């Protein structure tokens, strides 16, 4: 009995050390760089929908959730945000915004990313909200080229 308990304690200890070691892996900093672009939203509703569904990954105003503090989940979250910002970043002058592409992604249901929707139930838009968001994107960012 005693031996078995020691084994379990040992295993828990090793796990703990692994989890702590994961936290020390560098290169997954959560950043919110300066905002250089001010968007003139067509309506407060568009802004609210965009903040709640897209801007955690496509702007520098990311609201980092608590689980983004803990490796290895943090690595996935930071990766998504960095990749999303690199596609287009609503906070930065010079980052090209293609309203047609945004609308296409929403229509196809590819954006917001499914794992994001799972953890942000409010980002699971109904058809009316989707239509409002797509209209708002057109009105705010133009029809695109």
The site for ligand HEC (CB under 6 A) is made up of: 53-54, 56-58, 80, 83-84, 87, 101-102, 105-106, 111-113, 116
C-beta of 84: minimal distance to ligand HEC in Å? Answer: 3
Tokens of 38: 């001010």
C-beta of 93: minimal distance to ligand HEC in Å? Answer: 18
Which CB, 6 or 124, lies closer to ligand HEC?
A: 124
Which CB, 80 or 92, lies closer to ligand HEC?
A: 80
The answer to whether the CB of 75 falls within 8 A of the CB of 28 is yes
> Distance (Å, rounded) from C-alpha 114 to C-alpha 121?
10
C-beta of 126: minimal distance to ligand HEC in Å? Answer: 13
C-beta of 3: minimal distance to ligand HEC in Å? Answer: 47
C-beta of 59: minimal distance to ligand HEC in Å? Answer: 10
The answer to whether the CB of 102 falls within 8 A of the CB of 137 is yes
The answer to whether the CB of 99 falls within 8 A of the CB of 107 is no
Which CB, 22 or 129, lies closer to ligand HEC?
A: 129
Neighbours of 43 (CB within 10 A): 13
Which CB, 17 or 107, lies closer to ligand HEC?
A: 107
Q: What is the dihedral of CA 82, 85, 87, 89, to 10 degrees?
A: -170
> Distance (Å, rounded) from C-alpha 17 to C-alpha 32?
30
Which CB, 7 or 96, lies closer to ligand HEC?
A: 96
């Amino acid at each position: 009995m005693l031996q078995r308990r020691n084994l379990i304690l040992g295993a828990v200890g090793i796990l703990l050390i692994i989890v702590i070691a994961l936290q020390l892996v560098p290169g997954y900093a959560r950043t919110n760089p300066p905002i250089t672009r001010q968007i003139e939203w067509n309506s407060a509703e568009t802004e609210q929908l965009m903040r709640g569904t897209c801007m955690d990954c496509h702007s520098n105003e990311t609201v980092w959730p608590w689980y983004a503090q803990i490796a290895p989940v943090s690595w996935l979250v930071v990766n998504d945000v960095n990749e999303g910002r690199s596609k287009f970043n609503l906070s930065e002058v010079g980052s090209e915004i293609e309203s047609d592409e945004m609308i296409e992604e929403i229509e196809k249901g590819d954006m917001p990313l499914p794992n994001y929707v799972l953890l942000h139930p409010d980002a699971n838009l109904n058809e009316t909200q989707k239509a409002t968001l797509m209209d708002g994107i057109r009105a705010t960012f133009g029809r695109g080229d």
